[in-house]
Amino acid sequence: MTDSNRVHIFDTTLRDAEQTPGASLTVKEKLEIAHQLARLNVDIIEAGFPLSSNEDFEAVRRIAHEVEGPMVCGLARALAKDIERAGEALKDAPNPRIHTFIGTSEIHMQGQMRKGREDVLKMAVRAVELAKSFCDSVEFSPMDAARTDPGFLHEVIEATIAAGATTINIPDTVGYAVPEQFGTLIADILDGVPNSKDAIISVHCHDDLGMAVVNTLSALKNGARQAECTLNGLGERAGNASLEEVVMALRTRRDYFGLDTEIDAHEIIATSRLVSRLMGIAVPPNKAIVGANAFAHSSGIHQDGVLKARNTFEIMEPKDVGLEDTEIVLTARSGRHALRHRIEELGFSLSAEELEDAYGRFLELADKKKEIFDEDLIEIVGGQQREETTHYTLEYLHTVSGTGTVPSSTVRIAIGDEVVQESAWGDGPVDATYAAIRKVTSADVLLEDFTIRAVTSGSQALGEVTVHLTEDGRSARGRGVSTDVVEASAEAYIAALNRLFELTERDAHPTV
């Protein structure tokens, strides 16, 4: 990789993405994400806005001194107090940067700051000069650059580079730009600003019109060499350019862009999930690269193609971004190839006639269920339309929970002809109930997944709980429905235990 085709990734998840409503992070959580960003191998971490709060100051200070690898950046308005506070937070850090900014569009200068061009230009130059007294790496952003008069924009860029800015960031602050226009804006800066080659040209795009990533890529194609991004595309309003999408677009279409980053893409999924968990913002299932469905296939045509040759319907390897493999989701749209593939993975070998018979029963069940799981396939292949095993039956459930009370649960379960009752405590009524069930059944199982959703509306809505249990390499799901979510949780757990018992019996007695 040469300097001319190297794109620096500037991650602003801890600053801009934290401005997402409801996404506030503690200092400890910011540090945890920053260490993961270092494993992802981002070039620059924008850790926060030191003047905004004591907590933000402390986060920038600790990340700058404790996280090894990336450059660590603090944001500051083009005001002395902001820059001095950022300088204080970054003092003695091994690899610091101050990022200062001021609005340069007529809309911002007149509508927000009530200042003219001359005053704004002087403030920008003074801000860069002051920031330069604290650290060598200084980034300057003419805010709302996409709506700034090009002549004035070039004047500000030339003056701030002359004052010591090492990176000039061109923000599409309100997501107004379109790709061709934004790419031309960058090309014109590189052609029209005499000292533009003395700084790295960066871009920071918002997604108000859904074009943050494509605007970023257009800018990079036209000579920008730093992309400002966030994990999962989080940020103000509709969010920012998504780091994972920019990185994987450059990697997957290197034939077109001819550009590289130093991101360790294998860490993308882990970083995305950490950010989602700590910020409490779920990733949409259809989100590119990191969504639950990004490498999942339910269409029979797609499943058949992927199983024959992955690149028929996948342009990236799931392992490239940290996933184990493609997910083949069995639904009514799945074909015979996908069904045979999964059945063979479960250890069964079927003749063509047996497969056709199994496929008919599979479609019949798939018309009733949203998704077909492994235990369903075992039933289908066995060809026995018997009632579900009821080795365990929940006969009684009583829970106690409330403020200042240790949650407890008592369950009475019939196991064959025997009835056993036990009590247990837990972190909540569901946890206590599951602990009591495990005591009764002596089941050494692992709860892999627990999901709950309302299947009707209103305060008396039915709650549907689905659990996924594993034991000795076997896996089973159970489902429970009730207006009492604790009861639904218990029923789901018991249903999964019954499935696991059935699988164990089948393996012990293959002819049964």
Domain ranges in the chain with CATH number 3.20.20.70? 3-279
Reported as a single tens digit per residue, the pLDDT across 36-61 is: 999 999 999 999 999 999 999 999 99
Q: Are 368 and 378 in contact (CB under 8 A)?
A: no
The pLDDT tens digits for 396-436 are: 999 999 988 999 999 999 998 899 999 999 999 999 999 99
Closest residue by Cα to residue 104 from 167, 155, 54: 155
- Locate CATH 3.30.160.270 in the chain: 392-508
**Integer Cα distance of 395 and 401 in angstroms:** 20
pLDDT per residue as tens digits for the range 59-86: 999 999 999 999 999 999 999 999 999 9
Residue 265 has pLDDT above 80, yes or no: yes
Residue ranges with strand state E in 104-163: 137-143
Answer yes or no: are the C-beta atoms of 315 and 295 closer than 8 Å.
no
Q: How large is the angle between the packed helices 336-345 and 374-382, nearest 10 degrees?
A: 90
Written out in words, the top-level CATH class of the domain with range 296-382 is mainly alpha
CA distances 127 to 144, 147, 163, 200, 372, Å, are 18, 22, 9, 18, 61
Query: CA 286 from chain center: how many Å?
Result: 11
Q: Which residues contact 245 (CB under 8 A, 6 or more apart)?
A: 213, 233, 288, 289
Judge whether 226 and 11 are in contact, CB under 8 Å: no
**Is residue 2 predicted with pLDDT exceeding 60?**
no
Torsion of CA 258, 262, 265, 266, to 10 degrees: 140
Q: Are 239 and 216 in contact (CB under 8 A)?
A: no
Whole-model pTM above 0.75? no
Q: Which tokens go with 506?
A: 């089948």
pLDDT digits (tens, 9 = 90+) for 122-166: 999 999 999 999 999 999 999 999 999 999 999 999 999 999 999
CATH architecture designation of domain 3-279:
Alpha-Beta Barrel (3.20)
Domain boundaries for CATH 1.10.238 within the chain: 296-382
Residues contacting 312, CB < 8 A, separation 6+: 305, 306
Fold classification of 392-508 (topology level): Double Stranded RNA Binding Domain (3.30.160)
Task: Give residue-wise pLDDT tens across range 208-256.
Answer: 999 999 999 999 999 999 999 999 999 989 999 999 999 999 999 999 9
The rounded mean pLDDT for the chain is: 86
Q: How many alpha carbons lie under 13 Å from residue 122 in its C-beta half-sphere?
A: 5
Rg (CA), the chain: 29
The yes-or-no verdict on residue 330 having pLDDT over 70 is: no
Using left for φ > 0, alpha for ψ between -120 and 50, and beta otherwise, residue 350 falls in beta
Q: How many whole angstroms separate alpha carbon 440 and alpha carbon 421?
A: 7
